[in-house]
Amino acid sequence: MSNLEDLYREIILDHYRSPRNRGELESPPALRVEGFNPLCGDEIVVYLDVTNGTLSNIKIAGTGCSISQSSASLMSAAVKGKTLEEVHKIISRFKQLMTITEGTLEDGSEPEPIDLASMGELAALAGVVKFPVRIKCATLSWNTLVQGLDEIPA
């Protein structure tokens, strides 16, 4: 049986209580993308600054549960300052983390074996897959990020 400690690891609670990169960016120039979980009413807004192929800045606004908020915070810390190529790698690793059930991210690509050690704090989200209904919470900000990146002209 899965227990609460699997889900609510200290890192998660920490990112929930003290979210990183919280706030807004002026848009434009920043890209503003909204994500929405109609089932629980969670809303997330992701602001992205992309300069010369690098995600130079990211801010997160919106409301949600500890899982969606901490996942967004963890995400922002993981991707900020990274090249788009690196960002896509991080996204795909996170995706693998969540794919105990199929189709957790919306592009439907296939998962690969996963190296938790390489994931840093993001690994704290691994416990979420034991709570399938919460996967939607964890992936909300990531899907919103993906949506934003798709909107960036190549």
Task: Fill in the DSSP letter of residue 62.
Answer: E
List 88, 100, 131, 147, residue binding other proteins (CB under 8 A): 131
Window contacting other proteins (CB under 8 A); options: 10-18, 24-32, 81-89, 90-98: 10-18
Of 68, 91, 86, 89, which is closest to residue 19 (Cα–Cα)?
Answer: 68
- Asked if residue 109 binds other proteins (CB under 8 A), the reply is no
List 46, 79, 122, 137, residue binding other proteins (CB under 8 A): 137
In the complex with other proteins, the residue whose CB is nearer, 74 or 137, is 137
Window contacting other proteins (CB under 8 A); options: 8-16, 72-80, 85-93, 138-146: 8-16
- Asked if residue 110 binds other proteins (CB under 8 A), the reply is no
In Å, how far from its chain's centre is CA 119?
A: 13
Cα 107 from Cα 23, distance rounded (Å) = 28
- Asked if residue 133 binds other proteins (CB under 8 A), the reply is yes
Cα 86 from Cα 140, distance rounded (Å) = 20
- Asked if residue 150 binds other proteins (CB under 8 A), the reply is no
Q: What is the DSSP string of 99-124?
A: TTSTTSSTT-PPP----GGGGGGGGG
Write out the binding residues for other proteins, residues 31-60 only, by CB under 8 A: 36, 38-43
